[in-house]
Amino acid sequence: MTKQVQQLDRVIIRFAGDSGDGMQLTGDRFTAETAQFGNDLSTLPNFPAEIRAPAGTLPGVSSFQLHFADHDILTPGDAPNVLVAMNPAALKANLGDLPKGADIIANTDEFTKRNLSKVGYDGNPLEDDSLAEWRLHAVPLTSLTVKALEGFDISKKDAERAKNMFALGLLSWLYHRPTEGTIAFLEAKFARKPEIAKANIAAFQAGWNYGETTESFSVSYEIKPATLRPGTYRNISGNQALAYGLIAAAVQAKLPLFLGSYPITPASDILHELSKHKHFGIRTFQAEDEIAGVGAALGAAFGGSLAVTTTSGPGVALKAETVGLAVTTELPLIIVDVQRAGPSTGMPTKTEQTDLLMAMFGRNGESPVPVLAPATPSDCFTMAVEAARIALAYRTPVMLLSDGYLANGSEPWRIPEIDELPDISVQFTTQPNGEDGTTYLPFKRDPQTLARPWAVPGTPGLEHRIGGIEKADGTGNISYDPDNHDRMVRLRQAKIDGIDVPDLTVDDPDGDARVLVLGWGSTYGPIAAAARRVRAAGHKVAQAHLRHLNPLPANTGEVLRAYDKVLLPEINLGQLAMLLRARFLVDVISYNRVRGLPFKAAELAAVIQDVIGDVIESD
């Protein structure tokens, strides 16, 4: 049978199944194949916080969405073209996102009476005509897998578990993905269980062959590689990029990296990653709690390490007092907050931008802290290095606001050359700095940066004491003098306000847009994709994105005032909008959704169109 091959410019696939079905692994492998093939891509894993929610239930559904294309793309896509549903729960939970006409590949073996009734289906949707508006491919994935593995010396359970590899094989055939990487991956993953490795590879190949022979799929698809900027690329998630950025920062600073951390979703993978790289002189310390994590990091900073603590929102709340101590002792420290839905425990695996005001103000006293936010998964690398630059140059704690979407999402990353990275090395103070030539003044400031000197224990002649009590300007001795306190409060604020950050750049192709859409952090992709749609529809919109939130770029006010309307989408109830309104008296229009999910490009495009419409109407 000759099968038709169709060319597509982009595809969005969603793998969905039970938490135990291996959907994240399947998605990761398909992503790796796609990256290897050279498409641009963006991913969105979506999984429950429970490790194994009751099998077959709606809360137990785990999914992985992948958008890949022959051109550069910015988001994991709004709506899937293809849904792989491993059971009725996966179908039910995801059907609402699926546009009519999309493909559904359903594992018929799991559509049993019991599984159907578990999620409230009266009949079998694969057999009645309720899915008539979609293109349904009913495939008995489990039994085909078990059949393909008949000759293997493995249990039936192990054979059934390989069904995700059968599905991966089928999808790999459908989209002409390279297979060598997955085979090598399975060989390495199951190196100690060669029979399981062989069985998974066989299931993967059986899936591929099934696609080629079955009549259920008459067409396969080609998506040509994307033309990206020349360079060497790899696929990278936000958490991995952030960990690599911290390692790069330590190398570029010529300091040992110390991480004090307590496990918390969705930040733990940074701890896991850094703990694998001790040969860079990295010390990772899994503390007894969040407070000890940041405390140990601050102790290491006092000792001369590049000190980091990684956490999510609830952990930031616990660390607040220690961050305040870092503010007043003026020691470099990086606090990574991988934001998740709150308040309290909230929804640990879902994303949000709701910690901005906590990062800015969540401490007692006047306690200014620089705040940074990466825009994309790979930007986590760049912003980790930037956080270290600021922390070290200005002797200050720095908040780095990633989020669940960036942390687990992935995209191709052009690997930087080492000589493209900034030199952020620091000089410890080794000589007395007092006018008499013998005393050491731990709070005598650099006139340019207002940073204090950093003399680490072990340096003879510079023995000194620091602490949380107010310090006398210069000497650092305990001081309750009213004027000294006023001066120190202002000096600490002036130091942060004076941090050198790059200007805000505006993307306005024609230069005459009247509406600016502004964002910060992980909304970059959906906002930029929305702006493209609006422009493609013949309208004008300018776009700007803040990665430095404190201090803001010096030209921020000027940019905001240059437009008739400023639209600011945020996954919170308007936190940055509040700051900008207060600071610049600009009537920023907020657009807010707090659903634990990233914005969709179509949704934002409609909002932008509305604002443009209002501007034109009011002329």
**Selected binder of another protein within 20, 25, 36, 603 (CB under 8 A):** 36
443 binds another protein (CB under 8 A): no
Question: Cβ closer to another protein: 123 or 231?
Answer: 231
- Cα angle 584-585-590, degrees, rounded to a multiple of 5: 95
Shortest reach from residue 8's CB to another protein, in Å: 20
Distance of CA 280 to the CA centre of its chain: 24
Smallest separation (angstroms) from another protein to the CB of 42: 17
Work out how close the CB of 435 gets to another protein at its nearest, in angstroms, rounded to a whole number. 16
Q: Which pairing describes strands 82-85 and 10-18: parallel, antiparallel, or unpaired?
A: parallel
Q: How far is the CB of 487 from another protein (least distance, A)?
A: 21
In the list 8, 49, 209, 256, the residue contacting another protein (rule: CB under 8 A) is 256
Minimum CB distance to another protein, residue 216 (Å): 31
Q: Give the residue, chosen from 2, 4, 7, 232, that forms a contact with another protein under the rule CB under 8 A.
A: 232
Binds another protein by CB under 8 A, chosen from 11, 12, 23, 32: 32
- State the number of CA atoms in the 13 A half-sphere of 367 facing the CB: 24
Q: Is the dihedral of CA 295, 301, 302, 304 positive or negative?
A: positive
Give the residue with the Cβ less far from another protein, 415 or 491. 415
| Nearer Cβ to another protein (165/247) | 247
Stretch that binds another protein, among 20-28, 204-212, 248-256, 528-536 (CB under 8 A): 248-256
Binding residue for another protein, selected from 188, 191, 418, 536, defined by CB under 8 A:
418
23-37 vs 180-189: helix axis angle to the nearest 10? 140
Interface with another protein, residue 271, by CB under 8 A: no
| Inter-residue contact 171 to 205 (CB < 8 Å) | no
Q: Helix, strand or coil for residue 385?
A: helix
Q: Which stretch binds another protein (CB under 8 A): 56-64, 100-108, 148-156, 463-471?
A: 463-471
278 makes contact with another protein (CB under 8 A) = yes
- Of 82 and 271, which has the nearer Cβ to another protein? 271
State CA 91 to chain mean position distance.
27
Residue type, 487: R
- Angle at alpha carbon of residue 128, lines to 123 and 133, rounded to 5°: 125
Give SS3 for 261. strand
Can residue 35 be called a binding residue for another protein (CB under 8 A)? yes
Confirm or reject binding of residue 296 to another protein (CB under 8 A): yes
Taking phi first (over 0 means left), then psi (-120 to 50 degrees means alpha), and beta for anything else, what does residue 233 get? Answer: beta
Closer by beta carbon to another protein, 288 or else 483: 288
Residue among 99, 231, 434, 613 that touches another protein (CB under 8 A): 231
In this structure, are residues 72 and 229 in contact, taking their beta carbons and an 8 Å threshold? no
Q: Which stretch binds another protein (CB under 8 A): 128-136, 165-173, 232-240, 389-397?
A: 232-240
Q: Should residue 394 be labelled a site residue for another protein when binding is judged by CB under 8 A?
A: no
Nearer to another protein, 35 or 529 (CB): 35
Phi-psi region of 307 (alpha: psi -120 to 50; beta: other; left: phi over 0): beta
SS3 538: coil
Q: Specify the stretch interacting with another protein by CB under 8 A; choose among 5-13, 279-287, 389-397, 481-489.
A: 279-287
Of 128 and 289, nearer to another protein (C-beta) is 289
Residue whose entry in the numeric block shows the structure tokens 């007692």: 364
Binding test (CB under 8 A) with another protein, winner from 234, 272, 485, 533:
234
Cβ closer to another protein: 462 or 577?
462
> Contact at 8 Å (CB) between 64 and 27?
yes
Distance, CA of 297 to chain centre: 23
Total number of residues that touch another protein (CB under 8 A): 69
Told to check if 233 binds another protein by CB under 8 A, we report yes
Tell me whether residue 116 or residue 282 sits nearer to another protein (CB atom).
282
Nearest-approach distance from CB 149 to another protein, in angstroms: 27
* C-beta atoms surrounding 485 within 10 Å: 16
For residues 133-152, which are near another protein according to CB under 8 A?
none
Examine residue 435 and tell whether it contacts another protein (CB under 8 A).
no
- Integer CA distances (angstroms), 297 to 152, 308, 397, in order: 51, 6, 11
> CA–CA separation, 412 vs 232, rounded Å?
10
Judged by CB under 8 A, which stretch of 126-134, 457-465, 542-550, 554-562 contacts another protein?
A: 457-465
Residue placing its CB nearer to another protein in the complex, 100 or 279: 279
Question: What contacts 121, CB < 8 A, 6 or more positions away?
Answer: 88, 92
Q: Assess 540 for contact with another protein (CB under 8 A).
A: no
Distances (CA, A) of 285 to 245, 248, 261: 18, 19, 6
- Site residues for another protein, window 509-538 (CB under 8 A)? none
What's phi and psi for 192, nearest 5 deg?
-90, -10
* Cα gap 424→42, rounded to integer Å: 31
| Contact flag: residue 173 with another protein (CB under 8 A) | no
Nearest to 551 by CA among 326, 360, 397: 360
CA distance 90 to 16: 5
User: Alpha-carbon distance 161 to 149, whole Å?
Assistant: 11
Interface residues with another protein (CB under 8 A) are 32, 35-36, 38, 181, 227-235, 244, 247-248, 251, 256, 258, 260, 277-283, 285, 287-289, 291-292, 295-305, 307, 321-322, 324-325, 329, 415-416, 418, 457-469, 477-478
